[in-house]
Structure 1
């Protein structure tokens, strides 16, 4: 079968090669999927740069999620010929991919492939962060960093459904306009304006829930902005992208988070939580399945409205990787085999 293999770390146009590889073997409770399309996530960019410690050793096949048809099944509740959305734990950049039974949900033909792919990593991350970890209540205030991205868009959908006051950050005026069209109450271009000062100058007394995939430079400001009982959910450290990953870079990142005293958490009633969907999917597969089913249900109810930012073919993979690394993309990025 064909697969896009990460042969070396570095720039997108030099790191990947489209080659023939052996078709993967199945274990119990797994299915083999003929892949129609797969999604791109920022963790893929970090893995290509050699900065994602959970990535498999080189040469490797990246890719967290696929949509396709089951061609072989060792699972009791999934049958050959069924169309599924699957969380693949790497291996998605291939014509055929393996997935655990609990990491699959059946898809009706009415759900477009591109929108279905957004329901995997992006919406599952958003749902768990918003509903389970932050437990956002109706009418609360939320701050969503990188709000025009895949997870950010999903969080905006969930926040709108709860009638929250939404503050969203993004890195360009075009993305700010996108956020305004999507109903964000206060949209901030962080490349021009300090989000802490902008929020401080508004009528918001504090933020109830903050969702941050950036980390580093945003952390201290986030902590200051939290209201009494506020929750900060971190699901990425994209600020580390482009670094060399050496000791100096790691120390610099650690320093940017600053010092924290437990008494502050007690007096203010605030909490800080981290989310890694790869670890969650491996350690709690039943929860992953619940999140995927919830995402599909929200889509069918018209609450989840995936924003598709880019669609292309495997020959354009390096191009979209480069665009994402330079933060020139929005929404879900989808790669088709044909």
Structure 2
């Protein structure tokens, strides 16, 4: 079978090689999936840039989300069958024609679903659902700020927040503002021309929830906008991705930007600071990940979530796929196709 290996850090054109390798076998509690589509996530770009500490050592096969059909079933697996269309979550290894993964990291797909589109229900939708329904809970009328609201996780958070009846503030670049209106953001903010902190503070608004994937000083600004009983949930530090490598000083500046926080003001105001890393959940709470996968597919089936597919590339154009995702021009899932 073929798999795409990350062989060096840096620019995408020289970072990947397609290699022949041995097809995996299913362990007792695993399945093997014949992959039709592999989803890309921004963590893959950071791994290619050498910025992702959780990435495996080189040479490595990246990729978390796959859509395909069951090829093999382990002897202890009872709820999945050969030929069944599925969405699978992999702990890396997703850029391949076949992957093995625990059965608990796989959920059935309705017949006829597009496999590439379904990969948006993997890491991105599971993250959004966990943030909005597990890390916190949204209530009707709450004022919610979603950073990078047009991104893969952000747009799905918008859809969930609308379902709960929230008033949504969302940031995006100038070309994506119309898209924010389209998906239901009440107050789109152009981060290229406006300071979200000044815009929201100027409206005399206190936020109930902030979903932050930027980190640094923007996290600290979001915290300052919270009202009593407010929650800020951090699930990334996209501001770290500024070039092929970050220096130690860049990392220090990012950390200092977050600020230093005492729990006393949080207790006084009944506020919460919450951090989310979906890899840790997959590692230490696999049943929660299983729940998130099933919940994501159910929300899509009932129309709450629209797993938008932005663009697909043949697997041998992985460099182009990475460049497109890294350009931040995409509005939806980017995937590579194996057949």
Look up the SS of the partner of 2:113 in the other structure.
Answer: coil
1:227 aligns with 2:245: no
Of residues 82, 104, 107, the one that matches 1:105 is 107
The equivalent of 2:96 in structure 1 is 94
The equivalent of 1:145 in structure 2 is 147
**What is the rounded CA distance, in whole Å, between the counterparts of 2:261 and 2:120 in structure 1?**
35
CA displacement at 1:24 relative to structure 2: 2.4
CA displacement at 1:131 relative to structure 2: 1.1
Aligned alpha-carbon RMSD (Å): 1.3
**What is the rounded CA distance, in whole Å, between the counterparts of 1:118 and 1:56 in structure 2?**
23
Which string of whole-angstrom CA distances, capped at 9 and with x for unpartnered residues, describes residues 247-291 of structure 1?
222212111111212211112221111111111012111111111
**What is the rounded CA distance, in whole Å, between the counterparts of 1:195 and 1:316 in structure 2?**
37
What TM-score comes out, normalization by structure 1 length?
0.96
Which string of whole-angstrom CA distances, capped at 9 and with x for unpartnered residues, describes residues 195-248 of structure 1?
001111225x21111111111131111111111111111111111113524422
CA contact (8 A) 2:213 2:237 kept: yes
**What is the rounded CA distance, in whole Å, between the counterparts of 1:211 and 1:95 in structure 2?**
35
**What is the rounded CA distance, in whole Å, between the counterparts of 1:287 and 1:293 in structure 2?**
10
Tell me how many residue pairs correspond in the alignment. Answer: 336
The equivalent of 2:188 in structure 1 is 187
1:155 aligns with 2:157: yes
**What is the rounded CA distance, in whole Å, between the counterparts of 2:58 and 2:185 in structure 1?**
41
Which string of whole-angstrom CA distances, capped at 9 and with x for unpartnered residues, describes residues 162-197 of structure 1?
1110000012x2211100111110001111110001
| Aligned counterparts, 1:59-98, within 5 A | 59-74=59-74, 75-98=77-100
The equivalent of 2:26 in structure 1 is 26
**What is the rounded CA distance, in whole Å, between the counterparts of 1:25 and 1:51 in structure 2?**
31
What TM-score comes out, normalization by structure 2 length?
0.96
The equivalent of 2:303 in structure 1 is 302
Of residues 104, 125, 128, the one that matches 2:127 is 125
Decide which moves more: 281-290 or 15-24.
15-24
Unaligned residue ranges in structure 1 (runs of 5+): none
Of residues 164, 167, 182, the one that matches 2:166 is 164
1:315 aligns with 2:328: no
The equivalent of 1:327 in structure 2 is 328
CA contact (8 A) 2:217 2:259 kept: no
CA contact (8 A) 1:217 1:239 kept: no
Look up the SS of the partner of 2:156 in the other structure.
Answer: helix
Look up the SS of the partner of 2:27 in the other structure.
Answer: coil
TM superposition outliers: structure 1 runs of 4+ over 3 Å: none
Decide which moves more: 24-33 or 8-17.
24-33
Look up the SS of the partner of 1:53 in the other structure.
Answer: coil
1:252 aligns with 2:248: no
**What is the rounded CA distance, in whole Å, between the counterparts of 2:324 and 2:26 in structure 1?**
34
Unaligned residue ranges in structure 2 (runs of 5+): none
CA displacement at 1:149 relative to structure 2: 0.8
Which string of whole-angstrom CA distances, capped at 9 and with x for unpartnered residues, describes residues 39-94 of structure 1?
00011111111111111100000000101111111023222111110001100000
CA displacement at 1:109 relative to structure 2: 1.5
